[in-house]
Amino acid sequence: MTEPGEPSIGAVDEGQGGNRGGYDATFRVWRGEASGGELQTFTVPVNEGEVVLDVIHRLQATQAGDLAVRWNCKAGKCGSCSAEVNGRPRLMCLTRMSTFAEDETVTVTPLRTFPVIRDLVTDVSYNYEKAAQIPAFTPRPRDPDGNHRMQQVDVDRPQEFRKCIECWLCQNTCHVIRDHEENKAAFAGPRFLIRLAELDMHPLDVVDRRDAAQEEFGLGYCNITKCCSEVCPEGIHLTDNGIIPLKERVVDRKYDPLTWLGSKIRRRRPD
């Protein structure tokens, strides 16, 4: 750990062309375990074009060899390096250092919603437990020739949600569980509400998940404040294209007497 103003430890790769815009940045990184921890301050060299994960790696290589950080692809596709950078849930590998002023302190903390294991690594098993509870894709019987047929326009909507890389930033930023741990039992979180929406919109799927969405997965807890959409690194419109359409489908099922009556007297055929 270095004090602000001290010479930094760790070489800046200057290559053949000078320092290429390198500078020393002040980083505050949360270090600790479930029993406790604190923000520690480091001065770390930064090269032009780097992202926060690069700097965390340099920190790990030069000053804090036991710093725990989860990462994998460094390309925004594996969803491993989720953290909070200056209080905002982000992928460290997609957060460019050029978004910060050179004299700005960059604070990196673990995801707040999940139990911490060590330093920047959290236990995200809550998400896998919820994933296991979602009723699986159940397609209708195949056509007589043994094929399943559907048009691209029929699966455009579900395919948007398939872009999810399961980085859990939406789960982390959702205030329903971020600020209220006790809601975790009743609320599946935005990632799994769009999983329910994806399956409910699928042209081949035959399971009605609307009751379960409301009763078992806590759709009603969502007050559509859209933070999940704001933090999604894949740009999925979770709220507008997933959760709100799912809410409307639940209204069809549970709160709209006209739609309910229409389905009872067979004026509405299932689509």
Partner 1 sequence: MTTTAPRGTGAASPGHGGEGPAPRRAAIAARTLRTDRWWLQPLLTVLALVAFVGYSTFRAFQNAYYFSEPYISPFYSPCITTGCEGETFPELFTGPAWISPAIYILVVPLGFRLTCYYYRKAYYRSFWLSPPACAVAEPHRRYTGETRLPLLGQNLHRYFFYLGLLFNVVLTYDAVLAFRDETGAWGHMGLGTLVLLANAALLWLYSLSCHSCRHAVGGRINSFSRHPLRYRAWTLVSRLNARHMQYAWISLFGVAFADFYVFLLATGTISDPRFF
Q: Which stretch binds partner 1 (CB under 8 A): 2-10, 12-20, 45-53, 226-234?
A: 226-234
d(CA 61, CA 127): 31
- Does residue 216 belong to the site contacting partner 1 (CB under 8 A)? no
- Decide whether 22 or 203 has the Cβ nearer to partner 1: 203
- Does residue 40 belong to the site contacting partner 1 (CB under 8 A)? no
Q: How many residues bind partner 1, per CB under 8 A? A: 72
- Nearest distance from C-beta of residue 39 to partner 1, angstroms: 8
Q: Which of residues 64-83 bind partner 1 (CB under 8 A)?
A: 70
Q: Which of residues 90-149 bind partner 1 (CB under 8 A)?
A: 104, 107, 109-110, 112-117, 121-126
Q: Length of the chain in residues, anyone?
A: 271
- Does residue 164 belong to the site contacting partner 1 (CB under 8 A)? no
- Which of 57, 184, 191, 195 binds partner 1 (CB under 8 A)? It is 184
Q: Which helix (H) or strand (E) holds 29?
A: strand 23-33
Q: Which of residues 239-258 bind partner 1 (CB under 8 A)?
A: 240, 244-245, 247-252, 254-256
Cα(first)–Cα(last) distance of the chain, in Å?
61
- Which of 180, 211, 260, 261 binds partner 1 (CB under 8 A)? It is 180
Apex 64 CA angle, 60 and 68, nearest 5:
65
144 Cβ contact list (under 8 Å, min separation 6): none
Q: Which residues of 119-147 are buried (b: 16+ CB within 10 A; e: fewer)?
A: bbbbebebbeebeeebeeeeeeeeeeeee
